Structure 1
Amino acid sequence: MPRYYLDVHDDSMVCNGSGAECSDLGEVKQRTGDLIANLVVGSIQSRRDQLACRIFVRDQSGQIIYMGAFSYNGAWVNFGARVA
């Protein structure tokens, strides 16, 4: 089964050294989405209000074959003046 490497790029770059075996490109896309979901949840749980991230997926030869990106921005908004 082919091996793919999901590299996370945010304020720093985190390369996936061991990679993951995927049966097809659909599984590559699913793993990328799962990683994004985990990063967003982790950001919220750590009370981090901003996170912008890209995930580059490389095949066994090092060629980038897929990219997923997201940004999360949380901010407090003063609704006190609008509440009766």
Structure 2
Amino acid sequence: MARYFFDLHDGTTQFDAEGVECATLDDARDVAKRLLPAVAGDELIRDGDRLTYAVLVSDEDHRPVYTASLTYTGLWLIR
């Protein structure tokens, strides 16, 4: 199994120093897809109406292999 690293970007960067072992690139993509909503979920309550999270997946040689982002935008329709 190969080790992949999942760096999270949300205005700042949180580097993944440990990584996760994945059997395939599809498995690494699935980890990234689960990571984004898990991280964003708690932050939505605290951080307002505009948030973007991105994850950059890199292989063991720190070459980027996949990226994904999740954006939330809320807009009041009445005041």
TM-score range, shorter chain: 0.7 to 0.9
Number of the residue aligned with 1:14: 14
Between structure 1 and structure 2, the one with the greater Rg is: 1
Number of the residue aligned with 1:49: 49
Identity %: 24
Structure 2: segments with no counterpart, 5+ residues: none
Number of the residue aligned with 1:38: 38
Contact 2:40/2:53 (<8 A) preserved: no
RMSD: 1.6
Q: Give the count of matched residue pairs.
A: 79
Partner secondary structure for residue 31 of structure 2: helix
Taking structure 1 as the reference length, the TM-score comes to 0.82
**Alignment-mate amino acid for residue 8 of structure 1:** L
User: Larger % of helix: which?
Assistant: 2
**Alignment-mate amino acid for residue 12 of structure 1:** T
Deviation per CA, 1:23-62, whole angstroms, max 9, x where unpaired? 1111111101001111231222335322112211000001
CA displacement at 1:65 relative to structure 2? 0.4
Taking structure 2 as the reference length, the TM-score comes to 0.87
Q: Which runs of 4+ in 1 moved over 4 A?
A: none
Give the distance between the partners of 1:10 and 1:46, measured in 2 at CA: 14
